[in-house]
């Protein structure tokens, strides 16, 4: 006869498991390695090579928010109460577009002038370090 004292038992009823997939809202293609986390906790997961995920959440955190993010897409916050437990949840992310300002790159047309300008800057740097 064995006696185990002080060891906590983990019951399957103490967790809710959420399953599903993360998809691009336009193309409906899976988003591979999207990040999923419970807001304000260290519980997180990533989607696999097919965009599918599985996340176990303790019952006491089942009223929290699931945060889903993927580079180049808008981060989505979802109330866990709206997700099916152990069901096939489809989460769609929208592409985010970041407008970049225009940059102009120009160089002197005369290569000799470019080399002389660079050498002048280098000489100034060397003189400053010698002082």
Mean of pLDDT values over 42-49 = 96
Look at residue 11 in the predicted model and tell me its pLDDT: 55
Q: Could you tell me the pLDDT band of residue 117, with boundaries at 50, 70 and 90?
A: confident
Kindly list the distances between the CA atom of residue 38 and the CA atoms of 5, 44, 58, 96, in Å, as whole numbers in the listed order: 32, 6, 11, 22
Which residues have C-beta within 8 Å of that of residue 19, sequence separation ≥ 6?
52, 53, 54, 55, 86, 87, 88, 89
pLDDT at 13 over 90: no
Distance CA 33, CA 114 (A): 46
Task: Specify the pLDDT at position 41.
Answer: 93
Cβ-proximal residues to 53 (8 Å cutoff; 6+ apart), any chain = 18, 19, 20, 21, 22, 34, 36, 45, 46, 47
Specify the higher pLDDT residue, 97 or 13: 97
Spatial neighbors of 46 by CB under 8 A, at least 6 apart, are 33, 34, 35, 36, 53
Is 4 a residue whose pLDDT tops 50? no
Provide the pLDDT for residue 7: 45
Query: What's the whole-number average pLDDT of the chain?
Result: 87
Whole-number Å distance between alpha carbons of 20 and 56: 12
Residue with tokens 């120009």: 106
The span from the CA of 3 to the CA of 28, in Å, is 54
Question: Residue 5, CB half-sphere, CA atoms under 13 Å: how many?
Answer: 1
Q: Which of 53-62, 71-80, 122-131 has the lowest mean pLDDT?
A: 122-131
């Amino acid at each position: 006869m064995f006696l185990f004292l002080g060891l906590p038992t983990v019951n399957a009823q103490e967790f809710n498991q959420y399953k599903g997939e993360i998809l691009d809202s336009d193309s409906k293609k899976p988003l591979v390695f999207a990040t999923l986390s419970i807001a304000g906790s260290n519980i997180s997961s990533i989607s696999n090579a097919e965009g599918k995920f599985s996340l176990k959440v303790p019952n006491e955190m089942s009223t929290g928010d699931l945060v889903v993010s993927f580079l180049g897409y808008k981060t989505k916050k979802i109330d866990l109460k709206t997700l099916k437990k152990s069901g096939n949840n489809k989460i769609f992310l929208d592409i985010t577009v970041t407008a970049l300002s225009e940059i102009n790159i120009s160089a002197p047309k005369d290569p000799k002038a470019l080399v002389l300008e660079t050498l002048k800057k280098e000489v100034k740097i060397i003189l400053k370090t010698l002082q």
